[in-house]
Amino acid sequence: KAGVTQTPRYLIKTRGQQVTLSCSPISGHRSVSWYQQTPGQGLQFLFEYFSETQRNKGNFPGRFSGRQFSNSRSEMNVSTLELGDSALYLCASSWTLFGGAYEQYFGPGTRLTVT
Amino acid sequence: DAKTTQPNSMESNEEEPVHLPCNHSTISGTDYIHWYRQLPSQGPEYVIHGLTSNVNNRMASLAIAEDRKSSTLILHRATLRDAAVYYCILSRGDNNDMRFGAGTRLTVKP
């Protein structure tokens, strides 16, 4: 079974631009969660989507948004990029919304650099 | 949100057992204890999880204290490929929101 895939793997953007990152979950998984990883803040939860609905959201500004499509693929968007948005963006998929009892599977991440 | 406390770093010798501790004194009754690890330049990888009873799988064992305020991840024979950051996370049973801490950086010496 194919794992979680994320595209692109690397991205360089300029401050003020916007960016869209994509995540394809494992086949059959309906939940997709997004995380931001930086050296200073570590891994931080951004939001989770299940059946095309945002179910849970972390403490990030409104510049960070996402969506999920009917095939469970998800995209996240960051508008008006700031230097501090440079990070590794990870997505994780799970087959269920009630995740505490089940494992999540992470993709390799998209490395975003904002200059 | 309940938090976890782990040592910043630990060292182990290859082929010896490793015990990675985690304190979670504010754990609630519905929190599952999860362990993930992250190898360099990769996304986190699931290791093991449990609720109340000790758990074993092909990768590791999870020992949970009777009062559930602490747990220990046991790698039975460390290999060089086990060098990674290990995260102990409490995850509620009703969502997929995982709050990662700083984790423990495990170094395995040959």
How confident is the model over A75-101, as pLDDT tens digits? 999 999 999 999 999 999 998 766 677
Q: Identify the residue whose tokens are 């010798």.
A: B13
pLDDT at B91: 86
How confident is the model over B57-95, as pLDDT tens digits? 999 999 999 999 999 999 999 999 999 999 999 988 777
How confident is the model over A42-76, as pLDDT tens digits? 899 999 999 999 988 999 999 999 999 999 999 99
pLDDT at A97: 67
Cβ-contact A112, A64 below 8 angstroms: no
Q: Dihedral, CA atoms, A104, A108, B48, B93, nearest 10 degrees?
A: -20
- For residues B69 and B81, give the distance between their C-alpha atoms in angstroms, rounded to a whole number: 29
A43 Cβ under 8 Å from any chain B Cβ: yes
| Contact: A100, B99; criterion CB under 8 Å | no
Contact residues, A window 90-109, toward B, CB-based 8 Å cutoff: 90, 92, 94, 97-101, 103-109
Q: Which amino acid is at A8?
A: P
pLDDT at A99: 65
CA distance B43 to chain A (A): 5
Cβ-contact B38, B82 below 8 angstroms: no
